[in-house]
Amino acid sequence: MDRRRFLAAGAAGVAGLAGCLDDVDAGNGDGPTRTLQLVLSSEPTTLRSGYVVDLAETDRPADEDAFRATLDGERVTSQHRRPFGARPEDPVYTRHEGTYYRLGAVVVDEAAVTRSVLRLSAVGDVDDADVPAATAADDLPERDRTAVHVGHMAARARGNEGGVPWGLVQRGGYVYRDAAAVEASRLLADDGPSHVSYRGTVYAVEVSRERFHEPVYRATADPVAETPERMEAILRAQFVTARLSRDALPDDARAIIRDARDGYEETHPYSEAYRTVLRGLHARAYLDGNVEKDAYVEDPGTGVVLYDGMYYDYRIRFVRRG
């Protein structure tokens, strides 16, 4: 798991647990036991390995062309999707001819466009005798299969507790934005199937044409450093959330940090050694065990700790046992 996914998973875990812990015992009763878990990445890494990318090796082939064109002074724009996948809170850097660049985007316009939106509604199991005939999702073009998968997640979430991946689900379904995918689609065709089957369920297909107002981005590439050391310092200033020294910690606290690479947890009230580690990570809001009032709001559940000159990603979250 790379740094971005490690940290995102931890944030999602804390957010998902906030507000749903009223029925979880802290370890003093007969109900499920709630423990506070600390996980450190198993191996230390440089920050550059997580934030400096080789554009030729990403899954966005247009990014390398956009970067080179931007360096040549060309104005490169894209609609809806940010160039390089960069966001203000999650920047992307690359290195070219010895210079490090921060890649980003600025909004320069708004575009109004009509898109096709696919939504699915479950009508029954594929084995039910009274369900309509349905086209199997596996028999559809690739982008249609993606649309069915996203539509299935949105349909499954309706009326149920939990959430959906809003980066994929939009307006309760899947939005077709690629012209080639629209052209190849069977689901969007006038004679397309009215029902599809996916993962044992038959879904009714609804397609609508809707108006979207999307940002237009201009790609940016700003030089920020000429040496790896300077680049590391820039990243350290942005992303290191805690700094610990082995010599300043008691033996039992050092043992917790070592064990946390496989996951370390305790029930509240925590040992003094664990409290020392949590304070060192600036996770003080967790010390009283009350995540609902302050830990989720004030203290993030993820971060990067600099421990004796090495960087480790860490994640703090509550888990249930029993």
Q: Is residue 293 part of a domain?
A: yes
Q: Is residue 66 part of a domain?
A: no
Residue 20's pLDDT is: 39
**Structural domain of 121:** 112-215
Q: Is residue 76 part of a domain?
A: no
SS3 labels along 289-302? CCHHHHHHHHCCCE
Residue 285's pLDDT is: 83
The last residue of a domain, from among 170, 189, 215: 215
Do 233 and 150 lie in one domain? The reply is: no
Give me the residues of the chain with pLDDT under 50, please. 1, 4-25, 27, 292, 294-299
Residue among 34, 35, 38, 26 nearest 253 (CA): 38
Residue 111's pLDDT is: 97
Strand partners, 306: 243, 311
Question: Three-state DSSP class for 98?
Answer: coil
Do 206 and 118 lie in one domain? The reply is: yes
Do 208 and 239 lie in one domain? The reply is: no
Residue 41's pLDDT is: 87
Q: How many domains does the chain have?
A: 2
Q: Is residue 25 part of a domain?
A: yes
Antiparallel, parallel or unpaired: β 33-40 and 195-198: unpaired
Residue 142's pLDDT is: 95
Quote the radius of gyration of the chain (alpha carbons, Å).
Answer: 24
Residue 159's pLDDT is: 66
Q: Is residue 135 part of a domain?
A: yes
> Cβ–Cβ contacts within 10 Å for residue 1, how many?
11
Do 145 and 233 lie in one domain? The reply is: no
Residue 118's pLDDT is: 97
pLDDT in tens, 45-59: 789 988 999 998 888
Predicted model pTM? 0.73
The last residue of a domain, from among 186, 215, 244: 215
Do 247 and 275 lie in one domain? The reply is: yes
Do 152 and 184 lie in one domain? The reply is: yes
Do 242 and 314 lie in one domain? The reply is: yes
Do 161 and 138 lie in one domain? The reply is: yes
Do 188 and 148 lie in one domain? The reply is: yes
